[in-house]
Structure 1
């Protein structure tokens, strides 16, 4: 069967959400069951490449939020650190790919990676999710000495919906404690709930992350309302005085144009931004670790992260 879009031949053929009725799956509980299955997979995850630990930190309401810490085998008193907000449409928990990616960054760059299992939109509000993510940042900075973290060398990272959460956290951080962040890494990030105004949505509506899936994501994320939409949808915010950003949209992705628009707004606000659109790539393409294209992209990310944390 011929592919509808001109994906790179260096990538494996993707599976699209285009034919999945995600609204129905949310309503009948199928998505929640899927989330439970993913959590079980993550609980069984093991690696010999780095030191993997599991712990909890307190969120704004006292709820203990699970997080994973990936520490290089080379022992140091303090490490640079990345706080990784995982993707999954705000609806799914951590998946194996995010664990693999965390191991990769930790091992290659010699940094600590913190991966929080924030609450999800199938069960909680967008405000709760953002606060969970912010309190991971707060926990790392306030416990830096015990955690072995160099507070002067910390960045946030997010892919897809996690990119949106990383954006939200940088805004909350600026307006609250204002801990020093060296950068924000945003990979095929969600940026705007008004997606229909972007050409990439119509051009790639049936691509891996489909227009229908995106609509369900925002409907579920916003269904309980919010106290401040500007934190929930970062492109609606004043973006001044934020840390430098690396933004990586994928060429064949409905989220491409909103990521570029977010980058443009950051630049207009005086923030240093690097945009890197990956030709022939699709949403979630970087889970294909064997691909030569994916290896090249990770090399670029390593360089950027290393530059941010020097």
Structure 2
């Protein structure tokens, strides 16, 4: 469905029937990582709403050849198979009408890491997510740990705005060699795909060092940078060891923390992260 009245009517019908509503936001071109969120939402809710929307406020230069362009019929078949109840495929003008003036920003959190590398990107995320959450009105929303900064930002936004929605975090789904599933992976050549394994190797090395007793964030960052730099096709954008709740860069790891990286592999930018001192259930 593409219209707001249609979506709201369908959700209201399910809610009146006693179904809890789970929400999985996507940009389409679904892979196993996103589908795992749909399956978990289906196991925990009577009604699962999935959105498929490429947000121009996050990706203003996306062109028709991008791997993030939607293949709707393929996606709909996969979503039906894996338990989606309703699929929302809005047009840009539905969510951003010509007279739209409102933008949402979580001060500080949307300016670092991804926000520093891609100005405006995370404000676009918070804006469209607040719109979607207001439209769907879910009891719970499902996100993958690969989007760690988005999770931190959305958790803070929902807390600050008194939104009674559970944020369910699911483990990152990876290929056998550790590469996190992402629609961006489709842009990699065979050689680039092999080079991209340095990302997981770097994160895994940081976690192994932490598990062996290393607590200096500088040492952990240096180890990750070293492994990424050893791959000739890789160029780090940022390498971070940050507090898991605030994303503030750490000097020492004394509590829950994240190792986060953004790496250019040829012309493709990939992001990933690894929890330190905790695990995603």
Decide which structure has the larger Cα Rg and report it.
2
TM-score calculated relative to the size of structure 1: 0.33
- Higher RCO, Cα 8 Å, sep 6+: 1
